[in-house]
């Protein structure tokens, strides 16, 4: 995998985390809103796992941010 892919994954995770903190939500709370375990939210934020489009849409909606702000 090219380095730029890993860099992009980390950037998306950081944007999810920033938006979550701006919304004053914990990983547990965000997970409940989108139907995912808090461990999954942690994996998204740390780029251990990559959210699919449906997950990104749910997260953007739960955090009340445009999808483009996460990407």
| Spatial distance between the Cα atoms of 25 and 17, rounded to a whole number of angstroms | 10
Whether 31 contacts 42, CB under 8 Å: no
Query: 3-70: CATH homologous superfamily?
Result: lambda repressor-like DNA-binding domains (1.10.260.40)
pLDDT at 1: 81
pLDDT digits (tens, 9 = 90+) for 8-60: 999 999 999 999 999 999 999 999 999 999 999 999 999 999 999 999 999 99
- pTM of the complete model: 0.94
């Amino acid at each position: 995998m090219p380095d730029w892919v890993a860099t992009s994954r980390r950037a998306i995770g950081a944007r999810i985390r920033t938006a979550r903190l701006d919304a004053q939500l914990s990983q547990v709370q965000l997970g409940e809103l989108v139907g995912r375990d808090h461990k999954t939210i942690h994996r998204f934020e740390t780029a251990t796992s990559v959210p699919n489009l449906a997950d990104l849409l749910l997260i953007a909606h739960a955090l009340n941010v445009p999808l483009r702000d996460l990407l």
